[in-house]
Structure 1
Amino acid sequence: MFVRKKQNKSGVISVQVVDKSTGRYRMLRTIGSSSIGSEVERLVGEAKQWIKKQTGSQELDFTDYAHHTKLVLQGIEQIAVHGPALLLGKIFDEVGFGQIKQDLFRQLVLARLCYPASKLKTTDYLSKYQFLDIDVQVVYRYLDKLYKEQKELVQQISYQHTLRILDNKINVVFYDVTTVYFEAESEDDLRRTGFSKDGKHQHPQIVLGLLVSKGGYPLAYDIFKGNQFEGHTMLPIINAFQAKYNLDKLVVVADAGLLSKENIQLLEQGGYGYILGARIKSVNNELKEKILALKLANAESQTIEIDPESKLIVSYSQVRARKDAHNRKRGLDKLEKHIKSGKLTKASINNRGYNKYLHIENEIKISIRPEKIEEDKKWDGLKGYITNTNLTKEDILENYKDLWQIEKAFRVAKSDLEIRPIYHRVQRRIEAHICIAFVAYKIYKELERQLKTKGSTLSPEKAIDIAKTIYAVKVKHPVTKEITYTTIINSEQQQNLAKLFDF
């Protein structure tokens, strides 16, 4: 229905309500007529109100009679998954990623959070569940644009948001690396085989370095060749991050895998504070004697001065001691099994893992050295941390414990976001793929933060699962042919989530 103003031969304008739903014009009602402009407009307004009243009496009514319900159901044109857009799309904008005026960017990030898959399968998901027909080649071209024009902006937006939620204080950062493998066999300059943290040693891979803040909010990342030594990845990322945001007195926290004399020297030369996991079994004999002489009780820690610029914090934990003993027993059981089977050879005598307990007798017999086991037991439960900061040992231990946040980031990225395997071959698209995963994890962390702030017991995974059950229905009215969109929020879980996030 619509309003028509029809001028008569006398010059008077008649205001009518006309319907064309059958394909032919049909005058339903004449509201009135006048030659005065203001009166005509008043009649037009009255006509619109009449239409609204008429269509309102015919609105969707699922509580009405069965034939009405049947007519409405026949008018359903689309049922789309809408909850992720309501929940995650809102957080996407609150973080600031809405600054990137490209709807495909939003769709790719939300899909990575809800239905992580290859780009081809992502376009299939967008078509089936979002009714967005996007050719995969369009996605690939956008990835090129993301890499070329928007990658740096993405990290800046993430940094600025993290700065806001941490009260404009970022003085401690946490760094770690992981490997991400490819579903391919051939190597190139970037994709190389190397030590895989996923156990995919036969697959080409890249090394991914990630920098996060207190609380585990992602700050910066970079990728390196698959055979790159992880110790050589830390300084390039930290230096670039420090220079970009002009930060002073930054303290870097990293695990023992990144500890090397070269890295310590570079950190000191760059003016950084550092808290690094120490390899206490590999220090000189004098320092070993000092560590073992501490005789720490459970949860106790002591400081040992190394030189005027650095010190070693040593802590003891009964839980860690039990874990060390358990792991050693498992390793020894496996060694003994291999000895009995005759699988061990002279080549097995090395210092890798529990092989350090082995020795060879008369160039023939391989056996386990009990004295090595007893020597190793002395270190059960001990953990070392080397630092050049003036923080208290309690603060040093607390900051190091927060490294679990970055381990969680990698775990979520690999399991929930399914960042690997990577199917891309071209470097710019590989980097764009990592960029989308970076943004998705940022949204995940902000969802986690807001759930905690709102006092909810939901995990981010559970909240996303509930959101995925919320649908939007597009219905064409059986009489007026008017299109109506309705979001279906029925269950208690759906209602609670909608109330929690005000959508």
Structure 2
Amino acid sequence: MINPNSYRVIWVYLGKHEIERLSAQSGLFISESDTIVEQVISFMSNASIRTVGPELIFGKIYDSIGFGTLQEDLFCHLVIARLAFPLSKLKTIEYLYRFQGIMLNLDTVYRFLDKLNSKQKERVEQIAFAHTLKVLHENISIVFYDMTTLYFEASDEDDLRKTGFSKDGKHQNPQIYIGLLVGLGGYAIGYDIFEGNIYEGLTLIPFIEKISEKFKLNRPIVVADAGLLSNDNIKALEQKGYEYIIGARLKNEPDNIKKQILEPQFSEGQIISINKAGRTRLIVSHATNRAVKDEHNRIRGLQRLEKRVKAGKLTKSNINNKGYNKYFRLQGDVTIGIDYEKFNRDKVWDGIKGYATNTKLTDKQVIENYKNLWQIEQAFRMSKTDLRIRPIYHRLRHRSTYLHIIYRLLYLQRNGKDTL
């Protein structure tokens, strides 16, 4: 606890530059978390920060990756400060001033971000890819792709920011899609930005093709979540000579396939393989711990539905296949109820997970490779929590180049795990 009797009042003269710096920042939004971090920083001495500080530790990693060749000190400072203390830009500026002796104002940072362009993005990706290639011993035979949304607090749309399906539950806010491609170990290969109202399944093939052409990749195996690969996407990948591993939507399979899946009495860890048209095969596994989790989630989802039904505010529009809404049914002309029979029938799927592939890998290899998809999902979770890249307050389209910093942050933190 802070002792109020320990404070002293110190009168100081602020020079012209200092007054301008403070006045430029006075109207900015400050989050509660920023205030907490500021208190932590206040108890740290200059000596401790500079002796084992972020610039010393992450600066070496930053240079070892190759980012130092860009010769942009401001960019380096912003990346490392954001990584060490995920603050608003206001607090980043304060941190740099107090502990690094770097004097900036917010307008300087915005002007710098405004100057970043596609050439800068290309250069950052080239450096990151060269390092990834080195770490993976020149072997990028499998890649992992995923997407997420980042919403803007600004209410106006433009040709990039669009309202669309939000993974953050912010359907009223304009957003953008971010696609990220990584190799084994979670090492980033490339990223891209898409309009916020695009169907995410339409992004995969153009993105993979562009990255493959840029970095001369020899058609690596593509691993992605089921939501990113429609039947049309799968056909397009096959036509272009790509192999893939995706999460299968087993309940959407034809009845004869579902019968083959559900007929065997699964034992713990058992795997079955079902051949489909062409080279495609379904691999199905069962895990007891997954069954427990699936049942828990279903029951929790049902309880939420029951609360909504009890509230009496549901309409026919709520009857759809989104999540647990699939258990709603129409009773009479206007009453919405719950289809408990359908809910109970779904119990047979608890613990069952499916994968679709056209590779020649063994069943176990397919499953193990798909499990690596968590690394890219972890990168997105980390960026949205540890690095706090949402919500985005930038109001100009070209300020989305702020994501250049985030991309370097993700890459720097991933390499920091191996170095520290």
Band of TM-score, shorter chain: 0.7 to 0.9
Q: What TM-score, normalized by structure 1, do the two folds share?
A: 0.71
Do structure 1's residue 446 and structure 2's residue 403 form an aligned pair?
no
Judge conservation of contact 1:147–1:429 (CA < 8 Å) in 2.
no
Judge conservation of contact 1:84–1:110 (CA < 8 Å) in 2.
yes
Offset, 1:230:
1.0
Rounded Cα–Cα distance in structure 2 between residues aligned with 1:441 and 1:99? 18
Rounded Cα–Cα distance in structure 2 between residues aligned with 1:438 and 1:316? 36
Rounded Cα–Cα distance in structure 2 between residues aligned with 1:211 and 1:433? 19
Identity across the alignment (%): 51
CA RMSD of aligned residues (A): 1.9
Do structure 1's residue 81 and structure 2's residue 49 form an aligned pair?
yes
The residue type equivalent to 2:355 in the other structure is Y
Do structure 1's residue 408 and structure 2's residue 344 form an aligned pair?
no
Offset, 1:88:
0.3
Map Cα deviations across residues 185-242 of structure 1 (whole Å, 9 max, x no partner): 1111111111211122222111110001111111100011111111111112211111
Map Cα deviations across residues 258-296 of structure 1 (whole Å, 9 max, x no partner): 120121122112221100111110111121111112332
Judge conservation of contact 2:201–2:229 (CA < 8 Å) in 1.
yes
Offset, 1:435:
0.9
Q: What TM-score, normalized by structure 2, do the two folds share?
A: 0.84
Q: Identify the residue that residue 12 of structure 2 maps to in structure 1.
A: none
The residue type equivalent to 1:91 in the other structure is I
Question: Residue 445 of structure 1 aligns to a residue in which SS?
Answer: helix
Rounded Cα–Cα distance in structure 2 between residues aligned with 1:382 and 1:130? 53
Question: Residue 176 of structure 1 aligns to a residue in which SS?
Answer: strand
Rounded Cα–Cα distance in structure 1 between residues aligned with 2:201 and 2:217? 22
Rounded Cα–Cα distance in structure 1 between residues aligned with 2:138 and 2:265? 42
Q: Identify the residue that residue 356 of structure 2 maps to in structure 1.
A: 386
Judge conservation of contact 1:80–1:131 (CA < 8 Å) in 2.
no
Q: Identify the residue that residue 17 of structure 2 maps to in structure 1.
A: none
Question: Residue 215 of structure 1 aligns to a residue in which SS?
Answer: helix
Select which of 328, 339, 355 maps to 2:325.
Answer: 355
Do structure 1's residue 323 and structure 2's residue 293 form an aligned pair?
yes
Larger radius of gyration: 1
Task: Label 1:359 to 1:144 Cα distance change in 2 as closer, same or farther (>3 A).
Answer: closer
Select which of 386, 398, 405 maps to 1:436.
Answer: 405
Rounded Cα–Cα distance in structure 2 between residues aligned with 1:352 and 1:367? 16
Task: Label 1:127 to 1:335 Cα distance change in 2 as closer, same or farther (>3 A).
Answer: same
Offset, 1:80:
8.4
Offset, 1:120:
4.2
Rounded Cα–Cα distance in structure 2 between residues aligned with 1:327 and 1:96? 45
Do structure 1's residue 236 and structure 2's residue 220 form an aligned pair?
no
Rounded Cα–Cα distance in structure 1 between residues aligned with 2:410 and 2:319? 43
Judge conservation of contact 2:151–2:176 (CA < 8 Å) in 1.
yes
Structure 1 gaps, min length 5: 1-77, 452-503
Map Cα deviations across residues 18-64 of structure 1 (whole Å, 9 max, x no partner): xxxxxxxxxxxxxxxxxxxxxxxxxxxxxxxxxxxxxxxxxxxxxxx
The residue type equivalent to 1:81 in the other structure is I
Q: Identify the residue that residue 109 of structure 2 maps to in structure 1.
A: 139
Select which of 95, 99, 102 maps to 2:69.
Answer: 99
Q: Identify the residue that residue 70 of structure 1 maps to in structure 2.
A: none
Which structure features the higher share of helix residues? 2
The residue type equivalent to 1:439 in the other structure is R
Q: Identify the residue that residue 306 of structure 1 maps to in structure 2.
A: 276
Offset, 1:99:
0.8
**Match runs of 1:251-270 below 5 Å:** 251-270=221-240
The residue type equivalent to 1:408 in the other structure is Q
Q: Identify the residue that residue 334 of structure 1 maps to in structure 2.
A: 304
Structure 2 gaps, min length 5: 1-45
Judge conservation of contact 1:277–1:386 (CA < 8 Å) in 2.
yes
The residue type equivalent to 2:402 in the other structure is H
Rounded Cα–Cα distance in structure 2 between residues aligned with 1:148 and 1:315? 44
Question: Residue 369 of structure 2 aligns to a residue in which SS?
Answer: helix
Rounded Cα–Cα distance in structure 2 between residues aligned with 1:365 and 1:159? 57
Map Cα deviations across residues 430-475 of structure 1 (whole Å, 9 max, x no partner): 1x21111111111101110123xxxxxxxxxxxxxxxxxxxxxxxx
Q: Identify the residue that residue 244 of structure 2 maps to in structure 1.
A: 274
The residue type equivalent to 1:289 in the other structure is K
Offset, 1:317:
1.1
Judge conservation of contact 1:80–1:130 (CA < 8 Å) in 2.
no
Task: Label 1:144 to 1:348 Cα distance change in 2 as closer, same or farther (>3 A).
Answer: closer
Offset, 1:429:
2.1
Rounded Cα–Cα distance in structure 2 between residues aligned with 1:114 and 1:347? 46
Range with greater deviation from structure 2 (112-121 or 149-158): 112-121
Range with greater deviation from structure 2 (298-307 or 359-368): 359-368
Rounded Cα–Cα distance in structure 1 between residues aligned with 2:77 and 2:165? 34
